[in-house]
Structure 1
Amino acid sequence: MAHHLESLVLRHTHRLVTPTGSAGEGVVEGGAVGEGTTAARQLDAALTSVGFKLSAELLDRLSRLSEAAVVHTARRTLRTVGEMVGDHVRHNAYFIDFPANVPDTEEFWAECVAKALGDETSRENTLKQLKRGALNLLGLPTYGRYQHTYEEMLAAQDELIAAAGDRITVLHLGRDLDDELTDLYLALAGSTTPLGEDDLTDLKTLAVRCALGPQPEAIPVRENRAVVNEARLGIGADLLLDTVTDVLRLACALSGGDVTLQEPTRFRTLPRPLRRALLAGLDAVVAANPAKLADVHAHREPFKRLGERLHPHEYPRWPHAADVFAVARGEKQARSFDSRLEKLLDEFDVLGAVKLLKSAPGKLFRTLDLLLRIAADQKERDAVVAASVEAAPQVSGRVVLSVREHLHNRARETDEPRIFVNRRGRAWVTPDFRAPLPDADRDRLITALDAEIRRRLPTPDRVLLDPDVLDVALPLSGRATAAGLGVLPRGSTSPVDGDQLRFFVYWKQSETRTDYDLSALLLHADYSTDSWLSYTSLKTVGGEHSGDITEAPDGASEFINLSLGRVRSTFIVPQVNIFSGEGFEEVEESFFGFMLRDGEQKGRPFEPRTARMKSDLRGTGRVALPLAFQRGDDGRWRAKWLHMYRKGITSANRVEENQLSVAKAVRAIVEREQLMVRYLIDLLPADTTTVHEWDGTSLPAEPVTYIGLERPEGLHPDSQIITLENLRDLIPS
């Protein structure tokens, strides 16, 4: 358990919990300082081979331990960073010396047929298929299965020669385990934006351990509150409940269900003490504010099923809890806010809707666009704008920023389609038939929202800025990204500095035969298809595919290599298609990533220190679109982060069939302008805050607020540090 918690800290913070041990385990106490120096340097060298290194402070701390203590730390650390970058598995390639000597597709298929005809066990069946004029590649004995071992592949490849452009992620010295876990718990629980699925799972682990310790001042995200309430319930602490939906989310947590309420939960039979706690919580919420009964309508069916498990009729002392389920069954009336609002909107009563929405600022902001479009005259539009400006201070920071971004994109005269991406990453695209918003009203709102965000921002004396972070999209939701290493929020852009671009997918099936296909769609500037790389097109201008693997009982990898200087297209869109078998959420493991190498760098198909990112594939569609690469007018390539899944079809998804739908989805993201980190930086007051762009060399001696992709070595210990791991801290509450 201790290793799991230390690993959790390392993944989230890139810090090692302070290495400790008793004298019996070899900590130096009055003995020779530096007993672990050799082992610490060996660990640093081992980390460098996978793209990590120890900070000077951490190396010094380890050097003061015994060899045994350092080795113990090394084993845990190397295991964790290997998983972070994807080096914990064996990445084999079908073509043993990939990317060299990849054959033409037809040549390769002909070779497979020739080998099948030369094999007595497959000759007859192959001849029958050839006579019918339809050949099943999967029936050929040498197709889709590794023809060599991992060790044989390694022996056939050159050693990687280190280059200045290789990725190096610095690991820093942390504090003791309890302090690190407490800080991480407070950060996750108090997040102003929804967490991703993996972070929510980690919060659950932390909440159990930290429920009795310090708590955040507020837990604004409801699903976070449900996870914390589950832990508090386990120790008998007071629950944090102010709506009936809070109780429903807690019940979902207790049943191992979805606390976001997006997926149906099958409620378990709960022990009597838990049933009493939930009913008492419902009763207290409704007793304090009977109007909260109206919230039941939004989740009537789940409340009905929950009532069947809680048996409220057995507890007459909590009559208000019984009212909740009576409303769900339709036996008691509770007119909902949404029904009243819907009636007003149906009647185009904008002034009545505005009056009602003043009591629900967040819902007012989410209805702004519609209200402005259906307003009959300027008087009504003025009322909408005035109410929004008045309500802005009561609206959460992420909603204000989301509406600000929305209004910016509505200002553009465009025929671009709208794209929607749900919490599970599933994306769909639709034409935009909305009427335009009046320029003056939109501009007034944008100015007011900018002022509101500026008011909420902290005003540090000095900001040190990594310029690469300026084009990172503000993380308004943790679900707009994926778990992994070096992953940026959807819509972000980042430079691609290297001659050779190589991306990869790894998957390991759980029970049934599973075939994932890594492909790349190459698009012109107008998003029309230029060409593609896939198992049906192993080579194109500047690119090679590593070969098709059609099953993964022990895990399988596929690669695509591209020489960027030779690619003539404007966009490169990697995709992972499920051809057959288990989905991304059903396999034992699946992840995607990309590497960058200098033109002369050889090495294995997978070299961890050249990997720029690795992200888990855990979406509900059958086609994954992690990111795209775009060549700018200056000839330089940049990555555009997508984190999308297309529905696809049940089986046999192929790049040839989905090229049009993928191009539409990519276009919708690329053409949409996101709010980036630079937006917040530009709002900082110039008269009180000095912003310096860091040149990557010298660091100031005094404390600063540092904002960048990774934490540099040598910052003053009192500096506030914001990197990818805690970028959500930029979002004001």
Structure 2
Amino acid sequence: MGFKLSAQLLEHLSGLSERAVVDTAVRTLGTVREMVGDHVRHNVYFVDFPANVPDTFDFWMRCIAEALADDDARIGTLEQLSTGVVNLLTLPSYGNYRHSYAEMLTHHDELIAVAGDRMTVLHLGGTPDDELTSLYLALAGSTTPLGEDGLRDLRELAGHCADGPQPEEIPVRENRAVVNEARLKTGASLLLDTVTDVLRLACALASGDVGLQEPTRLRGLSRPVRRALLAGLDAVVGAAPAKLADVHAHRETWKRLGERLHPHEYPQWPHAADVFAVARGEKAVRTFDSRVEELHARLDPTGAAELLKAAPGKLLRSLDRLLRSAHTQDERDAVAAAAEHALPDASGRVLLSVREHLHNRAQETGEQRVFVNRSGRAWVTEDTRPPVFAPERKRMIAAIDAELRRRVPVADHLLIDPDVLDVALPLSGKATASGLGVLPRGSVSPVDGELLRFFVYWKQTARTTDYDLSAALLDSDYSTVSGLSYTNLTEIGGKHSGDITNAPHGASEFIDLRLDAVRATCIVPQVHIYSGEGFEEVEESFFGFMLRETEQKGRPFEPRTVRMKSDLRGPGRVALPLVFLRGSDGRWRAKWLHLYLTGSLSYNRVEDHRVTVATLMRAVAEREQLTVRYLIELMTGSATTVTVWDGKTVPAGPVTYIGLERPEKLHPGSRIVTPENLCDLIPA
């Protein structure tokens, strides 16, 4: 499977009984098979793939000939031919496996193992209670928002750990809502400092979206829960009546919550009743944002910046607009001074986001501007904003660097895996996907191998579902050179495994590319929903890629050659997991996207999204993310020892190790940072 046991874990298992080892092996093998995507059978349409893949036109003609030889299909096929158009999906031999998985295996030699195959080390964990507590504290106290899987894990752990150790602070509001749900059930005090915290808690109790991005069907609540929520609201508003202004952002949801809380039955909490009066429009409260917008309307950026000092995060997120609005040097200096004043009180995640934005902020207009929402849906538009002048941009970058350097602890001895340097900082767990070897959006990782093979697997839930794996090959100017899909099965350096149009028992498609034969600088794998269920409706769907050498042979899917496997769970009808880019040195690198395009309800094809994909690739590929390299530079002091990890030599003393995988035999006092806990590097 491409996994091995660490020496410590092997020694531990050697001391257990045979039955305990067998039980552990059964569970572990099942887990790692699923991690790498080998828990399902990956069949291919062309039994010899990647050998003997036919020319597309010849293949279609063969399907028509077979249909004409079929008594049941002959008449319908002749009628279609008489019109000049034939629907491939009506041909009996098109789109369905013509052989079993076992028959396919007989056409392939065994994989020849090589040193370059992936080998992931499994380490010995602590006791279950220690592991659960550690994971709970890491998730609850995370300085960045968690992804869907992280929030689900936190919800499970919060109930188990409600009576145990708690993080000193829970800075992410979504995490706080999940923890409050567990605290409410155990009778512990709630962590509330805004009215929106109460609304998020109500959504958590209804198993809804605590991020308040999707509508939640609120449930009826028991009397003790209603009292707890109303008492919390009353305390928050009573301490700071200005927080009533936050109600406007979610007025309709507040109205629905009011119907379930019955605040009129509890006159002892009048401030809570004010919340619902504001939602119904019976009580007027001016919002903070409206006051800021009024100053912008008066063309008073310095006044807006002065007012925004009360909300440091908003001030920094508005910095670009404020600097653009300032027309004199005095105004620009005043805005920059206000922003510098706000830096110590802003979160590290906001500082890093603004730092990255300013780094990519070109002085010239006319560039492409890319937007990505929390679900990974992307779109691009022209950047028509006026420029931000270089002196102010450089001044703010220097100030942010100084503030972050003050917050980041300086390490005595850093042990660095060079492959981690270009991994993007995970400013949000929503900017990645679940899976093996998956990195945050914008990360760049080397691609070393002769053959690149990516794959998609899906299993429909109830309806016939057809996913199409495709690849667009783009030139240096992002113009389309060629592509591989069910409409173009063979291309220079590449082959498609064949189109599968129905997946009641699961289906796989592959694209195989010889990297030295590719005459392009950009390879964009894509998964199109041609018909049927979406990525969030199917029973299972995932994408991944493998790297291997020519002489290795093997099955179409070999788990130990899998470098990445990620779940496809997004809102659009076209998935763009990552892009492969050829650098000026001739080497290929993968840049992680985790993006979805809206697409059409059905019949999505690579040809239909050519312009959109090219425009998006230009905007994404040329944008520079803040990476681990940047934080390491901040963590390096004058007395810091920096060692580049060579994969072999381990320092004798404790180190701060930052890399893609945890090495064996590190000193017990070492701090270990891998992609699993990379968010720990983000300062609070």
Q: Deviations over 1:304-355 (max 9, x none)?
A: 1111121111111211111100000100111111111111111111122112
Shift in Å, 1:75 = 1.0
Select 1:403's aligned residue among 348, 354, 366: 354
Select 2:68's aligned residue among 88, 95, 117: 117
C-alpha distance in 1 between matches for 2:268 and 2:150: 39
Q: Is the 8 A contact 1:466 1:694 kept in 2?
A: yes
Q: Which residue of 1 aligns with 2:186?
A: 235
Look up the SS of the partner of 2:114 in the other structure: coil
Q: Which aligned pairs between 1:124-523 and structure 2 lie closer than 5 A? A: 124-411=75-362, 413=364, 415-523=366-474
Q: Which aligned pairs between 1:52-91 and structure 2 lie closer than 5 A? A: 52-91=3-42
Q: Which residue of 1 aligns with 2:653?
A: 702
Q: Which residue of 2 aligns with 1:609?
A: 560
Q: Is the 8 A contact 2:365 2:385 kept in 1?
A: no
Shift in Å, 1:686 = 3.3
Look up the SS of the partner of 2:72 in the other structure: helix
Q: Which aligned pairs between 1:532-681 and structure 2 lie closer than 5 A? A: 532-681=483-632
C-alpha distance in 2 between matches for 1:539 and 1:414: 41
Look up the SS of the partner of 1:612 in the other structure: strand
Aligned partner letter, 1:687: S
Q: Is the 8 A contact 2:363 2:389 kept in 1?
A: no
Q: Is the 8 A contact 1:416 1:671 kept in 2?
A: no
Q: State TM-score, norm by structure 2.
A: 0.99
Shift in Å, 1:412 = 5.6
Q: Is the 8 A contact 2:411 2:637 kept in 1?
A: no
C-alpha distance in 2 between matches for 1:477 and 1:730: 13
C-alpha distance in 1 between matches for 2:109 and 2:418: 35
Select 1:713's aligned residue among 637, 645, 664: 664
- Using the TM superposition, name which of 181-190 and 299-308 deviates more: 299-308
C-alpha distance in 2 between matches for 1:668 and 1:208: 43
C-alpha distance in 1 between matches for 2:555 and 2:216: 45
C-alpha distance in 2 between matches for 1:62 and 1:327: 62
Q: Which residue of 2 aligns with 1:17?
A: none
Q: Is the 8 A contact 1:411 1:442 kept in 2?
A: no
Shift in Å, 1:413 = 4.3
Q: Is the 8 A contact 2:363 2:390 kept in 1?
A: no
C-alpha distance in 2 between matches for 1:435 and 1:414: 6
C-alpha distance in 2 between matches for 1:702 and 1:349: 57
2:78 paired with 1:100: no
Look up the SS of the partner of 1:156 in the other structure: coil
C-alpha distance in 1 between matches for 2:207 and 2:57: 50
C-alpha distance in 1 between matches for 2:532 and 2:223: 42
Q: Deviations over 1:548-576 (max 9, x none)?
A: 00011111110000000110100000000
C-alpha distance in 1 between matches for 2:355 and 2:388: 14
C-alpha distance in 1 between matches for 2:207 and 2:651: 49
Q: Deviations over 1:500-546 (max 9, x none)?
A: 00000011111111100000000000000000000000000000000
Q: Is the 8 A contact 1:488 1:641 kept in 2?
A: yes
Q: Which residue of 2 aligns with 1:4?
A: none
Q: Is the 8 A contact 2:484 2:495 kept in 1?
A: yes
Shift in Å, 1:132 = 1.2
Describe the shift of the 1:542–1:412 C-alpha distance in structure 2 as closer, same or farther (beyond 3 A): farther
Shift in Å, 1:80 = 1.0
Shift in Å, 1:434 = 0.6
Q: Which residue of 2 aligns with 1:682?
A: 633
Q: Which runs of 5+ in 1 are unaligned?
A: 1-49
Look up the SS of the partner of 1:344 in the other structure: helix
C-alpha distance in 2 between matches for 1:259 and 1:184: 20
Q: Is the 8 A contact 1:525 1:569 kept in 2?
A: yes
What is the aligned length?
684
Look up the SS of the partner of 1:233 in the other structure: helix
Aligned partner letter, 1:547: G
Q: Deviations over 1:587-644 (max 9, x none)?
A: 1111000000012111111111100000011110110000000111111100011110
Shift in Å, 1:411 = 4.0
- Using the TM superposition, name which of 313-322 and 98-107 deviates more: 313-322
Q: Which residue of 2 aligns with 1:30?
A: none
Look up the SS of the partner of 1:626 in the other structure: strand
C-alpha distance in 1 between matches for 2:4 and 2:367: 45
- Using the TM superposition, name which of 219-228 and 414-423 deviates more: 414-423
Q: Is the 8 A contact 1:286 1:321 kept in 2?
A: yes
Aligned partner letter, 1:709: L
C-alpha distance in 1 between matches for 2:497 and 2:4: 30
Q: Deviations over 1:146-187 (max 9, x none)?
A: 111111111211110111111011000011000001000100
Shift in Å, 1:670 = 0.6
C-alpha distance in 1 between matches for 2:461 and 2:277: 44
Shift in Å, 1:684 = 2.8
Q: Deviations over 1:669-706 (max 9, x none)?
A: 11111111111112234313221111111101111000
C-alpha distance in 1 between matches for 2:158 and 2:601: 39
Aligned partner letter, 1:644: L
Aligned partner letter, 2:351: V
C-alpha distance in 1 between matches for 2:127 and 2:635: 35
C-alpha distance in 2 between matches for 1:153 and 1:315: 70
Shift in Å, 1:100 = 0.5
Aligned partner letter, 1:595: M
C-alpha distance in 1 between matches for 2:110 and 2:247: 63
Shift in Å, 1:442 = 0.8
Select 1:528's aligned residue among 479, 496, 520: 479
C-alpha distance in 2 between matches for 1:218 and 1:409: 32
Aligned partner letter, 1:157: H
Q: Is the 8 A contact 2:313 2:350 kept in 1?
A: yes
Shift in Å, 1:416 = 2.9
